[in-house]
């Protein structure tokens, strides 16, 4: 198969060239073709169809203009050239629109709105397209009986598109309705209700918080737990080996088990939400799977590889949820450490970087279902990874990593595919790129790629094509009283030693219409 050797001509595309900064490991010096752009290629990459989309993102603080929610379009020519121009950034929401804070971001099921965590006890529903002179804010939702919670920073939507989940970083868990049918009177978005998190009885026994929930194709709900540094440590002189170990110890990855549902009655409706006669999730139990893990902050599931990607500190971590001799035992199969691929905290000197952030601080990311990954760093950089050339669909070899300054105070990204993505219009498209130096088409000309045009049968498919088993955050993928859902001890779970990915057509895949989904 044709491959593309290490790219050296890309520097000719830019007017400004400054010396590359040496990587700290065996990868060699990354290319630095322009201020704020670094490129590292390990092995060879495989040529692919060009793709493009619009990335929606938030800023955890704002510049003088008060910008909070923004977008930027990109095109990737499939041969190592990513075009993502900061001059093409668009501001969707300003603080003057009534959006007082912005952090977590997902697409609303109606396809017209985004849901944005307000860095407090409010979540905003904002328009993707605002008429001239109008305000982006459609409505706000608050927390019912928040107790001691400081509010919502991260947002997650499950595959059935009927529930939004929110948490601090880390913090208590809240459940919001995004059911566009049952909650039509509220624009398909209503207030959040507390869901009790029960600590793992064996590890971190007093911790009832989490940061992010991630669903796989088997209906299992995983979680990350860490503070905003994601288990990382910032500052070369400050971060001794002992301090790095201490920071890692506060970050871990696990699975949610023992789903408890409660019947909604007239007496308890004001406390637990939902419609009278329905059953709503009121409690989940945490089980720690991988402890002391730098990177366990943001996360997403990737249909293309059948693996989970975590983001935090300086690391992108790839985890395969598979079984080992009948025991459910997820493993870290690959890691990208930006300190090794590019430079450590001292390397930001003289470069564009968000003030007050002293080192790599990866937050949230998304895949496109085609072997590409985007991750936002609070330093203001977007990290793009092309791993489509890796035969095992991992990020440990035959990868291209592109780091680019995008915006100060860069925070979270809305998903491109899967849970929390725009499942009505689609977000990832196939575009025509004549050459790496040509001008990319606007997002309005993008054509959504069908599953038949993907490079292999394991590429992402529409969530409407998954099968009919239920989706739940329990360790078996089911409610405690149910036996019909995916069993994590099943031999059908993904094996990180295998080059094949999780099959989205498996009979144990989740049903996006299942009312028992988390």
Q: Does the pLDDT value for residue 8 go beyond 50?
A: no
The strand pair at 31-34 and 279-290 is best described as unpaired
Report the alpha-carbon distance of residue 505 to residue 518 in Å, rounded. Answer: 20
The owner of tokens 């023992």 is 258
Report the alpha-carbon distance of residue 124 to residue 69 in Å, rounded. Answer: 11
If residue 290 lies in a helix (H) or strand (E), which one and from where to where?
A: strand 279-290
**What pLDDT is recorded for position 479?**
36
Phi first, then psi: give them for residue 83, nearest 5 degrees.
Answer: -110, 115
The strand pair at 192-198 and 279-290 is best described as parallel
Nearest CA to 404 out of 444, 426, 377 is that of: 377
**Can you tell me the mean pLDDT for 354-376?**
95
Cis check: omega of the bond before 170, within 30 degrees of 0: yes
Nearest CA to 33 out of 387, 324, 404 is that of: 404
Phi first, then psi: give them for residue 269, nearest 5 degrees.
Answer: -60, -40
Q: What is the mean pLDDT of the chain?
A: 82
- Within 8 A by CB and 6+ apart from 268, the residues are 262
Nearest CA to 13 out of 79, 83, 73, 74 is that of: 83
- Within 8 A by CB and 6+ apart from 219, the residues are 469, 470, 471, 472, 477, 478, 485, 486, 508, 509, 510, 517
**Can you tell me the mean pLDDT for 167-189?**
94
Kindly calculate the radius of gyration of the chain based on its CA atoms and give it in whole angstroms.
Answer: 22
If residue 268 lies in a helix (H) or strand (E), which one and from where to where?
A: none
**What pLDDT is recorded for position 362?**
98
What are the pLDDT digits (tens) for 254-290?
999 999 999 999 999 999 999 999 999 999 999 999 9
What is the pTM (predicted TM-score) of this model?
0.82
Tokens describing residue 384: 């793009």
Q: Does the pLDDT value for residue 18 go beyond 50?
A: no
Q: Does the pLDDT value for residue 74 go beyond 90?
A: yes
- Within 8 A by CB and 6+ apart from 383, the residues are 316, 338, 362, 365, 373, 374, 375, 376, 377, 401, 402, 403
Q: Does the pLDDT value for residue 447 go beyond 90?
A: no
Report the percent of the chain where pLDDT is more than 90: 63
Q: Where are the beta strands (DSSP E) in 60-95?
A: 67-76, 82-83, 90-94
Most confident of 19-23, 76-80, 468-472: 76-80
**What pLDDT is recorded for position 346?**
81
**What pLDDT is recorded for position 429?**
63
What are the pLDDT digits (tens) for 211-253?
999 999 888 999 999 999 999 999 888 999 999 999 999 999 9
Q: Does the pLDDT value for residue 432 go beyond 70?
A: no
Report the percent of the chain where pLDDT is more than 70: 77
Q: Does the pLDDT value for residue 514 go beyond 60?
A: no
Q: Does the pLDDT value for residue 449 go beyond 50?
A: no
Report the alpha-carbon distance of residue 421 to residue 471 in Å, rounded. Answer: 17
């Amino acid at each position: 198969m044709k491959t593309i050797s290490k790219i050296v001509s890309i520097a000719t595309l830019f007017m400004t060239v400054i010396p590359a900064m040496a990587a700290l490991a065996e990868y060699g010096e990354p290319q630095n073709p322009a201020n704020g752009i670094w490129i590292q290629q390990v092995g060879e990459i495989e040529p692919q169809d060009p793709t493009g989309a619009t990335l929606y993102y938030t800023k955890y603080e704002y510049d003088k203009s008060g910008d909070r929610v923004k977008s930027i379009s990109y095109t990737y020519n499939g041969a190592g050239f990513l075009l993502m121009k900061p001059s093409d950034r668009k501001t969707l929401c300003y603080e003057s629109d009534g959006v007082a804070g912005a952090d977590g971001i997902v697409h609303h099921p109606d396809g017209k709105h985004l849901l944005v965590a307000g860095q407090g006890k409010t979540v905003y529903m904002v328009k993707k397209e605002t008429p001239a002179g109008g305000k982006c804010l459609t409505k706000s939702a608050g927390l019912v009986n928040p107790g001691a919670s400081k509010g919502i920073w991260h947002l997650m939507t499950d595959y059935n598109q009927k529930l939004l989940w929110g948490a601090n970083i880390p913090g208590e868990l809240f459940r919001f309705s995004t059911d566009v049918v049952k909650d039509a009177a509220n624009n398909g978005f209503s207030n959040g209700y507390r869901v009790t998190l029960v600590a793992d009885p064996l590890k971190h026994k007093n911790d009832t918080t989490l940061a992010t929930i991630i669903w796989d194709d088997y209906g299992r709900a995983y979680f990350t737990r860490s503070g905003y540094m994601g288990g990382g440590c910032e500052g070369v002189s400050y971060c001794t080996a002992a301090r790095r170990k201490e920071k890692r110890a506060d970050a871990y990855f696990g699975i949610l088990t023992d789903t408890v549902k409660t019947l909604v009655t007239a007496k308890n409706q004001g406390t637990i939400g939902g419609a009278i006669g329905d059953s709503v999730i009121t409690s989940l139990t945490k089980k720690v799977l991988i402890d002391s893990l730098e990177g366990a902050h943001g996360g997403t599931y990737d249909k293309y590889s059948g693996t989970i990607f975590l983001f935090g500190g300086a690391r992108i971590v790839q985890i395969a949820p598979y079984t080992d001799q009948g025991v459910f035992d997820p493993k870290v199969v690959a890691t990208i450490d930006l300190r090794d691929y590019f430079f450590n905290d001292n390397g930001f000197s003289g470069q564009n970087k968000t003030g007050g952030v002293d080192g790599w601080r990866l937050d949230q990311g998304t895949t496109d279902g085609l072997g590409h990954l985007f991750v936002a760093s609070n330093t203001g950089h977007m990290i793009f990874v092309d791993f489509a050339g890796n035969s095992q669909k991992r990020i440990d070899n035959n990868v291209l990593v592109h780091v680019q300054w995008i915006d100060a105070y860069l925070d979270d990204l809305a998903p491109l595919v899967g849970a929390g993505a725009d499942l009505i219009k689609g977000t990832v498209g196939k575009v025509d790129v004549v050459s790496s130096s040509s001008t990319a088409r606007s997002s309005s000309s993008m054509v959504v790629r069908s599953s038949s045009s993907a490079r292999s049968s394991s590429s992402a498919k529409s969530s409407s094509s998954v099968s009919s088993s239920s989706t739940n955050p329990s360790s078996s993928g089911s409610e405690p009283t149910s036996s019909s859902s995916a069993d994590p001890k099943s031999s059908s779970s993904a094996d990180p030693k295998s080059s094949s990915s999780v099959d989205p057509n498996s009979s144990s895949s989740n049903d996006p219409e299942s009312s028992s989904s988390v």
